Structure 1
């Protein structure tokens, strides 16, 4: 099941809207359990799980912001329903993610539990995030991290996709931006004409025990005519995740930490950046110029300083163009 195939099925359902209840369509014959797409009389999209007659649930419906789940005991259906069509694309992500996670499961207790837990895991992503929009510099920095995430996915391939998604820690504002198995990455984004990057604390370039540390400097150019919106980069990564059958809820959870959702990322369309290049520096080298927790007096704290990247050429590990 692909995004294109799913959109085609929604189109078939929408041609003849329901006058009562739900108009439904089996999502795929490849799915062992009876999973259906549905549209209610208001035109809202639904995902319906039909349970065997012998299986009864002790479950009460739950209403969250823009998303609800309800159990109809008479027909033995669990219905996950979208109440705001502005979230249709995100609902498609939920449908595809859930479909691929349960399509091969034959035990009713297991697939029904997956279905219900998906509601709780995804419901926070359907909340309106109109307030607290990020400033331009924050969006620029986030685009830098997203570009590095995209590089990692392309470099490591689909078999590590969920590990890579979980390694992205930047939006959580703790530790390094990426925490991989053998190394951590700290990402800084600047304009091509700039030479300085700001280090926000004595912990950012602190090498974790038994791991390497790289400073990845990403150059992006403000370009409203041909640059990328943040939503462009998000959609590019989303496509890679879905092609690799990864758990896209991990990605949306990280973005949600910065109040970015599929509904509000268009509010940032006034910012466009053209990716130029990236350089990775070896911060594990004992000669790398830095002030970190392990090499400053304990009396010093809350440290902030600036690094001149044009003086770090001897520490370059890798570099490339976008």
Structure 2
């Protein structure tokens, strides 16, 4: 039973029954009730995208393309009506994102990308904001990601960003890997290495360690995590909108939720210092003696100094890789 105080009230089950959301909308959005009485948001399209983009896979949502007698559609269907109120908020947010587009193809990209923003929450992820250490770590990775976007382009850089998925290295490219460490500038001159795999060699790849100072400051100084995220989102919206979907998915995997309030924390970040991990670099790396695992240790910055490298040195190898 659909409550009367929802946008879907009055629509009939047993068929796809729809109601246009707004005659003033730029694109053709509809509230819909599907044959099994499931509520949905529908975007009517002139053409199906070729090739079809990846769609979010969410536990409580069904997101698909379908061709009807009136033309193709994208629909987002709620499987569990217990989440009806949250689903309405999602639908309005998705539509608002799509309405910013100048073309139908861009509207579709924005709608799918915004749905990815929600996937972490709706798949049962944590509802809490990221703790301070996780905020620092994400900001550090975003700063390195920005350098890679400038050098390689958005999509190759996002493909290389493997840290949020739990990979051993934060960035993995064809011939290079980058591990990122964020630290407080005023803390002891060490960085924490979380396990023996972080600085372990990768066959046929060069390994770099990027260290950044990420410090908490008082207003009006610094920026919130939300603002660091928004900077990259705006960059992608202007330069490569088709990459926003990948960006949103990475953020969700990192535990970032656009609905969370990060205004209580403001941060300043230094440019990253890069180090080449070669023979002689101080580290405990896999393989470790049999019976040991999860080796955590403190790495002194002074011991890393002889292995400092310029970003230009790192970038030249990455650019050459991108041309292969």
Counterpart-to-counterpart distance in 1, 2:222 and 2:185: 14
Asked whether the 8 Å contact 2:183–2:212 carries over to 1, the reply is: yes
Equivalences for 1:1-322 in 2 at 5 Å?
Answer: 21-24=20-23, 36-38=27-29, 47-50=43-46, 73=68, 75-76=70-71, 78=73, 80=75, 83-85=87-89, 99-100=104-105, 124=119, 127=122, 131-156=127-152, 160-194=153-187, 195-225=189-219, 226-245=221-240, 246-264=242-260, 266=261, 268-283=262-277, 285-294=278-287, 296-318=288-310
> Kindly tell me: are residues 200 and 63 of structure 1, through their superposed partners in 2, closer, same or farther at Cα, counting changes over 3 Å?
closer
Instruction: Provide the rounded CA distance (Å) in 2 between the counterparts of 1:280 and 1:63.
Output: 38
Shift of 1:140: 1.1
| Structure 2: stretches of 5+ with no match in the other structure | 1-18, 33-39, 49-56, 78-86, 313-324
**Hey, what's the Cα distance between the residues in 2 that align with 1:122 and 1:176?**
24
Query: 1:309 Cα shift?
Result: 0.8
- Structure 1 residue ranges without an equivalent (≥5): 1-19, 28-35, 53-61, 104-113
Distance 1:116 1:237 in 2: 18
What value does the CA root-mean-square deviation take over the aligned residues? 4.1
SS, match of residue 23 in structure 1: coil
TM-score, structure 2 normalization: 0.67
Q: Take 1:256 and 1:200, find their aligned partners in 2: how far apart are those partners?
A: 22
**8 Å Cα contact 2:117-2:257 kept in structure 1:** no
TM-score by length of 1: 0.68
Deviations 1:235-269 (Å, cap 9, x if unpaired)?
111122222324211111111123323223x2x22
Distance in 2 (alpha carbons) for counterparts of 1:250 and 1:99: 19
Secondary structure of 1:138's partner? Answer: helix
Question: CA 1:124–1:224 in structure 2 vs 1: closer, same or farther (change >3 Å)?
Answer: same
Partner of 1:3 in structure 2? none
